[in-house]
Amino acid sequence: MRPSILRRMLRRAASTSALALVAAMLSTVGAAGPASAASGLQQVTGFGTNPGNLQMYEYAPADLPADAPLVIALHGCGQTADGYHTNSGWSKYADLWDFAVVYPQTTSANNSLSCFGWFDPSEDSRGKGEAASIVQMVEYAKQQYGSDADRVYVTGLSAGGGMTANLLAAYPDVFAGGSVASGLPAQCATSQTAASGCQTASQTLTPAQWGDKVRAAYPGYTGSWPRVAIWQGTSDYTVYPANATALRDQWTNVWGISQTPSSTDTLTGNTTRTVYNDSAGNPAVEMYSISGMGHGLAVNPGSGTAQCGSTAAYFLNTICSTYYTGVFWGLDQDASGGGGEDGGEGGSTLPAPTGLQATGVTANSVSLSWDAVTDAASYAVYRNGTKIASATSTTYTDSGLTAGTTYTYTVAAVDASGAQGTVSAQVTATTTAAATVKCYTASNYAHVAAGRAYTTGGYTYANGSNENMGLYNVFYSHTLKESPTGYFVIADSGCTAS
């Protein structure tokens, strides 16, 4: 055993009581065992100097094209690379969308419960320990598969989620995006004893203070920042939901954008998604809050494109987080067949539709149009990266939206076999503010005097609707509702006077 590894093991063993507390809070025990050859998961040795004493496992579909994306997936405490590969659903989308997956694995030689050292600066900092080993795996896989260096992503659960946030902070030049599931903000704790406070206490730092922790992880960095997805159950009592809010505050601050959502929508599995767009109108941070879910990774077993994974300890049947994370990163659009829910066998050669534009907006709808694509049988319409409709013409109206909210749309042509072509460029549209409704109760005489009605032939009529309100005097009274401004209708019931 290398002396450096022995020293690390002794140092970790010295804080037994603190380690036990961390383990109790973050333990996500899964079945141990070697990687399964039947699953296609293979161990790689000799990927680098490996200062963090990690193991490397990988999965890639047959005939993976060059310049494909690369995903790094980090297990939770007590779990294994094979268990995470089996239950998380990443292998399904690797096959569907053409990318490779690397599963780093820590062991009890590093931590008695096989937790990644998200709370240890000697393990989670740039150029050090486990973080450096993971980046060595990235470099090895890029050479092995010819992966696109600009499309490397990292995701993790629990302790793996905490390490994911630290990797994004320390290596924004390596990772284009990340996904933190039931995890912690970057650099939340710098010791084992401080870890429990991160996991279960209220987070009191400001967005700027959280953002400073990221900026301090790689001082002087001036490049673009990773796009970050955050997954959290509202009933998680291992890593409290306050951590998801802190992650949201941290990464929106790093991006220099508001903590107020650009859009909010509801997904399957009692999931609420809030989206935070960058200055160009593209999603930079997305937060998924799953009502009633405890501590674990959200999966949704099934054969549908948006379904994935299998249930096990800390793999919870609610929604396929892997699918929505992949769509957020654009992995479905990177696929040779255009990806998406209608991607057919082998994909389609149909080009991306051009001329996509918002032709009209209301408080709760957006109307779209685009140029026709030759040989297209239909068109897949996407809102904020999720397919919402299949249109047979080159127009579509998306309804039931939230007033005063910005949405991002793309479309893709689908051929007669059901194979989807290349996805279009994005267009953004903001619904109008909700109409202000005001109600006024007064005599007909007072309504006329206030300019809400007029009189002719001894009778009173509401401005705009011209509804007859009765005789023009102080003895007849009505409630008038104003919406839009200057347009009045009789509303004697169901409308409270302003």
* Residues catalogued as catalytic: 158
Looking up tokens 């995903």, which residue turns up? 71
For the chain, counts of helices (H) and of strands (E): 13, 26
Helix or strand or coil: residue 298?
A: strand
25 token code pair = 């809070």
CA distance 131 to 375: 49
Cβ-contact 34, 117 below 8 angstroms: no
- HEC readout, 172-205: CCCCCEEEEECCCCCCCCCCHHHHHHHHHCCCCC
88 token code pair = 């998380």
Closest CA to 168 of 182, 147, 184, 186: 186
Residue type (1 letter), 144 = Q
Cβ-contact 491, 480 below 8 angstroms: yes
CA distance 276 to 26: 28
204 token code pair = 């009191």
Within 13 Å of residue 341, how many CA atoms lie on the same side as its CB?
19
Residues 6+ apart with CB under 8 A from 386: 267, 324, 327
Closest CA to 294 of 320, 267, 313: 313
Residues 6+ apart with CB under 8 A from 59: 39, 40, 41, 42, 85, 90, 91, 94, 100, 101, 103
CA distance 11 to 7: 6
Looking up tokens 């209301």, which residue turns up? 362
DSSP conformation letters of 118-165: TT-HHHHSTTSHHHHHHHHHHHHHHHHHT--TT-EEEEEETHHHHHHH
Within 13 Å of residue 242, how many CA atoms lie on the same side as its CB?
14
Dihedral, CA atoms, 169, 170, 174, 179, nearest 10 degrees? -40
CA distance 414 to 420: 4
DSSP conformation letters of 15-55: THHHHHHHHHHHB------PPPGGGT-EEE--SS--TT--E
- CA dihedral for 124, 78, 289, 151, sign (positive or negative): positive
Looking up tokens 């989670």, which residue turns up? 124
373 token code pair = 């694509």
